[in-house]
Amino acid sequence: MRMKWSLRLAIITFFFMIPIMLGMGVIGDSPTNKIPVPDKKYTVTFIDQMDFVTECSEVSIEGNTFIDGKRGEGTYAIAFDRIRSVLFRMKERELRGVVQLKDGSEIELVLNKDRKAYGKTEFGTFQIKLASLKKMTFPTK
């Protein structure tokens, strides 16, 4: 008798939680018309793996205006202000990013391939996984 009551309670709880989880965005992707608003506005040219070029404004990576990745045991975060370009490539199932800085130096980082870059185009919003990118270029001033 107790087992049946516990099972019923679990089923009721499960069906009660589904609408709550859907409403909170736990299940599914975010709508494409909503992108994170960065603290500072950057313009970037993206080139994806199919060589499509996309010019974007208000660019961020997951809402942040820096790129971060691992190098050895450490984690680096490089502000967009310092970046000239980033070349992306897969190596041994890891996404590598060669970050060329405006001062001419460069650093290679292991990036999170599931992170997304966001921006606005003349046609609407834009989002792309970092693993789908070939290059990201910041305009020189």
Question: pTM for the complete prediction?
Answer: 0.75
Report if residue 84 sits inside a domain. yes
75 in the same domain as 8? no
pLDDT over 60 (residue 138): yes
- Give the structural domain span for 4: 1-29
50 in the same domain as 24? no
Report if residue 36 sits inside a domain. no
Pick the more confident residue, 111 or 24.
111
pLDDT over 90 (residue 18): no
Whole-number pLDDT of residue 36: 85
78 in the same domain as 14? no
Whole-number pLDDT of residue 20: 58
Residue 87 DSSP label: E
Q: How many domains does the chain have?
A: 2
Place of tokens 């970092």: 130
pLDDT over 60 (residue 27): no
Mean pLDDT of the chain: 86
76 in the same domain as 8? no
59 in the same domain as 16? no
49 in the same domain as 1? no
Report d(CA 73, CA 103) in Å as an integer: 25
Degrees to nearest 5, angle at CA 50 with 44 and 56? 20
CA-wise closest residue to 123 among 10, 6, 3, 33:
33
21 in the same domain as 86? no
